[in-house]
């Protein structure tokens, strides 16, 4: 009896984790029937698991459509786990120096599926500030960190990404995107406008680990009237690259 109960409990935990993974990765609207079918369980059992996750804020249900989404508490939970990770521990002092030097907000960002998650922030000293973005997610191609991470991904991942894009973009849009990512790959710096809010410009550079894999990006952002092209090119981009190279070396990455 004890063994059977223990086995059931483990299976329930596994299915609950499977639900969270499906909600994080699945592009299809995740209704109860869809989730039950994907998990291979009854709708009744899927409903009980979803209700439990919903009660903890890990899942939320849209009343009008019945579609389930990842809940806001998952971001907070992830942040608590990540707080102790080496990435933030090593990145924060570099971010503090960059924010002090440029007097603009500096963020640590990572890719979560097809979205950019803003993990950590050091604010700048300017009187006019942008709204804090820690814990918020944005579609990866609407902002500089998402673009710089995508540009430096492995060729296999990029090929899969562009195959998906063919279903969502026109040939002209795909060509423009490929050209932009090629330019970012050469310069190692991405710049975007208005993707994080009207009148906001963001500049990002990638952080790599010992295997050359991109693990995140340092992102500086501020009002467009302060982040003009000349300042970005001559002051901010070289400084961010220097900081990113320093961080990448801490994770064992060597350019040569």
* Cβ 250 vs Cβ 101: under 8 Å: no
Chain centre to alpha carbon of residue 240: 19
In three-state secondary structure terms, 218 is strand
Q: Name the fold adopted by 76-250.
A: Beta-Lactamase (3.30.450)
- Which ranges in the chain are annotated with CATH 1.10.10.10? 2-71
- Which ranges in the chain are annotated with CATH 3.30.450.40? 76-250
**The pLDDT of residue 93:** 92
- Whole-angstrom distance, CA of residue 166 vs CA of residue 223: 33
List, in sequence order, the alpha helices (H) in 103-170. 144-151, 155-165
Query: Which of 90, 100, 92, 118 has the alpha carbon at shortest distance from 204?
Result: 118
In three-state secondary structure terms, 73 is helix
Q: Which residue, chain included where needed, has tokens 């009343």?
A: 63
In this structure, whether the domain defined by 2-71 belongs to CATH 1.10.10.10 is answered with: yes
Render pLDDT for 69-112 as a digit per residue (tens, 0 to 9).
888 777 666 665 554 466 888 889 999 999 999 999 999 998 88
Q: What is the pTM of this model?
A: 0.64
- Whole-angstrom distance, CA of residue 215 vs CA of residue 252: 12
Q: Which residue, chain included where needed, has tokens 């990435």?
A: 87
Q: Kindly give the parts of the chain with pLDDT less than 50.
A: 1-9, 83-84
- Whole-angstrom distance, CA of residue 35 vs CA of residue 98: 45
């Amino acid at each position: 009896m004890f063994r059977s109960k223990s086995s059931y409990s483990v299976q329930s935990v596994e299915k609950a984790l499977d639900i969270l993974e499906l909600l994080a990765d699945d592009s299809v609207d995740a209704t109860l029937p869809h989730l039950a079918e994907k998990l291979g369980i009854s709708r009744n059992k899927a409903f009980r698991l979803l209700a439990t996750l919903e009660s903890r804020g890990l899942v939320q249900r849209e009343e009008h459509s019945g579609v389930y989404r990842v809940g806001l508490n998952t971001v907070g939970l992830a942040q608590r786990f990540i707080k102790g990770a080496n990435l933030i521990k090593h990145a924060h002092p570099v971010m503090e120096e960059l924010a002090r030097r440029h007097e603009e907000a500096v963020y640590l960002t990572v890719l979560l599926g097809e979205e950019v998650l803003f993990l950590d922030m050091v604010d700048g000293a300017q009187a006019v500030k942008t709204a804090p973005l820690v814990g918020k997610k944005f579609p990866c191609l609407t902002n500089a960190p998402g673009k710089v991470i995508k540009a430096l991904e492995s060729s296999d991942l990029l090929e899969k990404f562009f195959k998906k894009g063919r279903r969502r973009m026109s040939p002209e849009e795909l060509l423009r995107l490929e050209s932009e990512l090629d330019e970012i790959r050469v310069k190692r710096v991405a710049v975007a406008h208005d993707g994080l809010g009207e009148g906001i410009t963001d500049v990002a550079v990638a952080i790599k680990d010992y295997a050359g894999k991109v693990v995140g990006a340092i992102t500086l952002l501020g009002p467009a009237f302060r982040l003009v092209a000349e300042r970005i090119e001559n002051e901010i981009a070289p400084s961010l690259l220097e900081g990113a190279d320093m961080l990448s070396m801490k994770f064992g990455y060597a350019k040569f």
